[in-house]
Structure 1
Amino acid sequence: MSTAPPAIPLGSIPQSIRSVAHYVKIANEHADRDIVVYYWCLFKAVEDAMATDSSSPEAKNFLTVAMNILEQLKKANKDNDAIWLDVVAQSHIEDQAQRLFTYANSQDDSGQFNQKMMKAFYTCGYLFDVLSMFGALDENIQSARKYSKWRATYIFGCLKRGEQPISGKLMAGKDGDDSNELNALSAEFNASANISSGPPASKYPTDFSSHSPQPYAGGGATQQYSPKPGLQPEVGPFHQQPRDDFNTYNNLPGGQQGQQPPTKPSPAQRGQQQQFQKPSPQQTPQPGIGQNSPTPSYQPAAPDLKLEDYLEAKKYTKFASSALDYEDPKTAIDFLLKAVAVLQKKDAGGSSGGLL
């Protein structure tokens, strides 16, 4: 898409659905730099707004405007898998939330308290909320969401009162979030960034790739937030139950209808965000389960594999696992072949005789 989508003035959100302002604000901030985050944050706002108030004239007007924007984005991004496919969208948004969390947590641990890190906590907390549209959240993500919102509100309150915040790792047992403080924090950001007049400049760094994931103990818990469980052999994918449909737009009073994305994924043709966790060593493949021959020859992995190769292969296997949740074996096979092609340094469209 050549031009950024329009920002929705927060002042246009009626009081009855004011709680969705968090998602609209984050969408506006990403309008000119991440169309996927923009789309799904606005989608989340529409979904929550319809569940709260879809009958008042003010709510209808907001929903109509937001839904029209979503439909225009879908038409203009027909080749963007992260707009059309849940599994790709989930991976993209989870990656952005992970980067923000890692950045904010590292700043918190080092005592660097400022608006940038506070806003990173705030944003990733609500991006974790957006992930809930794709299925039940993993327990670690639920903890990270709660921790992020708590840190954002706590640091906001301290800075507002002129107090020195205490690092989160030194405050075991004090997790939680306050909706009033979150609303005040959102209003503060809105005023400083002038969100209603259009997408603001970035208030926090957009490149977090130099920050490796850090553990935290929300509320004194020993459990760590470890994004991308698909990268860990002993843990399954976060979301085992993808959404079956997108009926959100079909119940709006006044006959507003929205185009529905496909209910099953189709093979993605583009790579997504890299992950930031080194996988465990691969087990030696076992020959004898080939597609075209009862005794296929084993084709070893390329000798010069790099970390990003392993991460990309893991990404494709995660996509394949989600495709199986949809009972779509063709898509699962396509993604598995892509993973094999990465490990063997071959064209993904080549022969599958060396799959195992």
Structure 2
Amino acid sequence: MSLTALPAKLKSIGHYIKTATEHDKRDPVVAYYCRFYAVKKGIEIDSSSAECKSYLLGLMDFLEKQKQACPEDSPIRNEVIGQAHVENYALKVFLYADNEDRAGRFNKNVVKSFYTAGMLFDVLSVFDLVSEDIEKNKKYAKWKAAYIHKCLQTGETPVAGPLPEEGDEDAPQPSTFSGATAGPSSYSNQPPSQPSPPYPPPGNQLPGGAQSWPQEQPQASYQPPPPQPQYSAPQETWKPPSNPSGVKLNSEDYQRAMKLCKFASSALQYEDPTTAIDNLTKALTLLTTGKEK
């Protein structure tokens, strides 16, 4: 079965399948979750017709085999790691596009990067929770992709960054957590309030043909989380002397040594080193010789 031969009713998931194909070698984790999201949306669209059911079952079988071939700690099998991986990758794509946009470098690669970031933010919905920041950046990325593309088609110079006016619901602002600042600035041009999506039906290439991925575009690969620091006992620089007389201590000796140590601790709280040293010396003497003095 061809994973790219979409039934007509499932054309709306075409861009997610195409993005998965583009990432099969670049980042298999991203590719897996793009297809996973496509299956989820495909089932919502049509899971009863023979053609759609056959395609979706084939895609599900492909994903299951891919999952079973991965180790237990793989981000494909561990959704917690998988979510962090996809989110990190999506933010890198978004920040690349946002930085290019703010620098005034408007081209088809920026459009594609914004659009891809928006789709990857969509993909994050396969996990339990999506943060408000992700939703905000998703809306902004999709709007920016449509807006810059329309400007390139009409010859208009796009406005860099977010809109200068706060509170405009038609042109979303990016979240500040991603590294993008959403504060107002002074611009000479005003973007259209409701840009219409410039893309062809999903499943086709972007206008002008598929563009090569920019060299600056991050090529993310799975990095396992850093291991938790293991506790290691500090190197001992001092050891108590062995009992020279071989004396055996009784329970009263141990109780007395504990009291001496408590006295020393109390003295330290009052910053009285003399008393602390005296009591610690007595405790040490008792433990090594069986006598305080």
TM over 0.5: yes
Does 1:175 pair with 2:171? Answer: yes
Counterparts of 1:77 and 1:127, CA distance in 2: 22
1:274-326 Cα shifts (integer Å, max 9, x gaps): xxxxxxxxxxxxxxxxxxxxxxxxxxxxxxxxxxxxxxxxx66xxxxxxxxxx
Counterparts of 1:190 and 1:86, CA distance in 2: 34
Q: Which runs of 5+ in 2 are unaligned?
A: 173-193, 235-293
Structure 2 residue corresponding to 1:45, chosen from 32, 35, 38? 38
Q: Report the more deviating stretch, 166-175 or 183-192.
A: 183-192
C-alpha contact 1:149 1:182 (8 A) present in aligned 2 = no
Structure 2 residue corresponding to 1:115, chosen from 97, 105, 108? 108
C-alpha contact 1:7 1:28 (8 A) present in aligned 2 = no
CA separation of 1:271/1:19 partners in 2, compared to 1, >3 Å: closer, same or farther?
same
- Write the mapping of 1:120-139 to structure 2, written as runs, cut at 5 A: 120-139=113-132
| Divergent runs of 4+, >6 A | none
Shift of 1:96: 0.5
C-alpha contact 1:119 1:204 (8 A) present in aligned 2 = no
Show the counterpart of 1:339: 228
1:130-188 Cα shifts (integer Å, max 9, x gaps): 11111221111110000000001111112122322221334543416777534458634
Counterparts of 2:202 and 2:214, CA distance in 1: 15
Counterparts of 1:17 and 1:40, CA distance in 2: 17
CA separation of 1:154/1:41 partners in 2, compared to 1, >3 Å: closer, same or farther?
same
1:322-351 Cα shifts (integer Å, max 9, x gaps): xxxxxxxxxxxxxxxx3324xxxxxxxxx5
1:85-131 Cα shifts (integer Å, max 9, x gaps): 11100011011111111110010001100111111111111111111
1:189-214 Cα shifts (integer Å, max 9, x gaps): 28723xxxxxxx842336449xxxxx
| Amino acid aligned to 1:8 | L
Shift of 1:81: 1.4
Counterparts of 2:207 and 2:137, CA distance in 1: 24
Show the counterpart of 1:324: none
CA separation of 1:54/1:179 partners in 2, compared to 1, >3 Å: closer, same or farther?
farther
* Aligned pairs, number: 208
Show the counterpart of 1:286: none
Show the counterpart of 1:187: 204
C-alpha contact 2:115 2:141 (8 A) present in aligned 1 = yes
Q: Report the more deviating stretch, 161-170 or 27-36.
A: 161-170
- Write the mapping of 1:237-276 to structure 2, written as runs, cut at 5 A: 271-272=223-224
| Amino acid aligned to 1:84 | R
Show the counterpart of 1:34: 27
C-alpha contact 2:11 2:203 (8 A) present in aligned 1 = no
Q: Which runs of 5+ in 1 are unaligned?
A: 1-5, 194-200, 210-269, 273-314, 317-337, 342-350
Counterparts of 1:192 and 1:155, CA distance in 2: 16
- Write the mapping of 1:34-183 to structure 2, written as runs, cut at 5 A: 34-79=27-72, 81-172=74-165, 173=168, 174-175=170-171, 180-183=197-200
TM-score (norm 2): 0.63
- Write the mapping of 1:3-22 to structure 2, written as runs, cut at 5 A: 8-9=3-4, 12-22=5-15
Where 1:113 maps in the other structure, the secondary structure is coil
Structure 2 residue corresponding to 1:203, chosen from 206, 213, 216? 213
C-alpha contact 1:99 1:208 (8 A) present in aligned 2 = yes
Counterparts of 1:175 and 1:28, CA distance in 2: 31
TM-score (norm 1): 0.52
State, as a whole percentage, how many aligned pairs show the same letter: 36
Greater gyration radius: 2
CA separation of 1:92/1:83 partners in 2, compared to 1, >3 Å: closer, same or farther?
same
